Every structure is written in C-alpha cells, then in structure tokens.
Amino acid sequence: DADVTQTPRNRITKTGKRIMLECSQTKGHDRMYWYRQDPGLGLRLIYYSFDVKDINKGEISDGYSVSRQAQAKFSLSLESAIPNQTALYFCATSDSGTGVTEAFFGQGTRLTVV
Amino acid sequence: QKEVEQDPGPLSVPEGAIVSLNCTYSNSAFQYFMWYRQYSRKGPELLMYTYSSGNKEDGRFTAQVDKSSKYISLFIRDSQPSDSATYLCAMLLYNFNKFYFGSGTKLNVKP
C-alpha cells in the first residue's frame, strides 16, 4: 500500500459543484501539503499544515479550502469548481522531527471541471 | 520574479548521452537543494539532495550547487531510456519547511 494515498485518482465534475479531494498518510509525518500541477507551471502550493491545529495558505489558495481532520488526514475542497481548476493535484507529507528534507508525494488526483 | 526558474524543455537525447539539467533561484536563504523525478502519471520522488554548495554523486547522477551564482545542476551520465521522466528542482528554507519547486524539465532518452 502507498504511504500517501489520494482519493479519488480521477474525477470529472461540473462547473459550480463542490468537490473534496482526500489524502491520508501512514508515514506518521506531521506536515502535509496540497499542490496543483499545470503544464509549464510546475508544482504550486495551495495550502499546507504543520500540525492538526496549524493551517496556512500557499501561493494559490483562492477558491480552495482545507481541513486537517487528524494528523494522518488532510482534505482539499473546491467550494464551487471552475474550469481553470482543472489540473493534477498532489498531496505531500514531510517530517519536521528528523530534519529530513524530503517531501513524499501521493499518486495524484486528475481533476477535470467541465 | 519566480523563486525558482527551470527550463521546461522538452529535452531529447540519445541513449548514453550526458544530460545537464539546471535551475536558477532568487532567494539566497535557501539551504537545501533537491532534485525530484516524476514519471508519467506518478507523483514526484526524491532523487538527490544537497546541503549548501558543492557536489554530490550517486551512481550516474551528480548534483551540483553554486550558491554564489544561485545555480544548481543535475548531471546524468550514460543516460538510459528508463531515465525518461520530468525532473523538478526544489529548494527548501529549512526553518519553514516549505518547498519551492521549479516547473520541471521533461527528458526523453531515445534508445
């Protein structure tokens, strides 16, 4: 089983619909991130959380919200989806305790808003 | 100005070639420098990381950091078709543990 699991893997939704992307991890890491990836733009940070009570906006948070339900779960919501939110979304984790510099990524969720 | 700049490519080379991938950055406070590899339909995976300036070698891969020029490189020797992927550079402000990614360079190694 993957250490960082994202659900769903693919989703097509209509403009104006609310949608939630879920992420769970078994690595025991305290820090979790949501990124979106677009061709030519790379990975852009949407939100990040350094622990359950700490939520921070990234560079492109408008139109998104998040919830850290537990240390292992971090969900991303699009309250009213629009076509330019069509992208590949990645959840990632990292561990502050060991000073490790690595971010571990899920397999991604391909979201299409029509 | 973006924090991290990376040529998106695509870069196409014959098998066995030496590949050079590069990034520039603007924030002199970055302390850790990483290269991630992303295969199609997969999440990025850490390939190598270096701390501060200098070189680090791992098999066919060499990561190089020049902090004075704010420039990092990844060299791949004897490139293989299995190296075909998108390579993303990433940088870290250690105290904040926020990762800053380049846009990725798509590499195709032809048999």
Query: What does the radius of gyration of chain B's CA atoms come to, in whole angstroms?
Result: 13
CA dihedral sign, ordered B96, B87, A24, A68: positive
Each residue's pLDDT expressed in tens, for chain B with a length of 111 residues: 678 999 878 899 999 999 999 999 999 889 899 999 999 989 999 999 888 788 999 999 999 999 999 999 999 999 999 999 999 999 988 777 788 999 999 999 999
- Using CA atoms, how far apart are residues B43 and A107, in angstroms rounded to an integer? 5
Q: What are phi and psi of A80, to 5 degrees?
A: -145, 95
- Residues A66-107: pLDDT tens digits? 999 999 999 999 999 999 999 999 999 998 876 667 889 999
Inform me whether the C-beta atom of residue B61 falls under 8 Å from chain A C-beta atoms: no
Residues in chain B closer than 8 A to A107 (CB atoms): 41-43
The answer to whether B9 and B88 are in contact (CB under 8 A) is: no
Q: Is B91 helix (H, G, I), strand (E, B) or coil?
A: strand
Q: Is A86 helix (H, G, I), strand (E, B) or coil?
A: coil
B35: its two tokens: 């290269």
- Using CA atoms, how far apart are residues A87 and A65, in angstroms rounded to an integer? 16
Q: Which of B42, B94, B99 is opposite residue A103, by nearest beta carbon?
A: B99
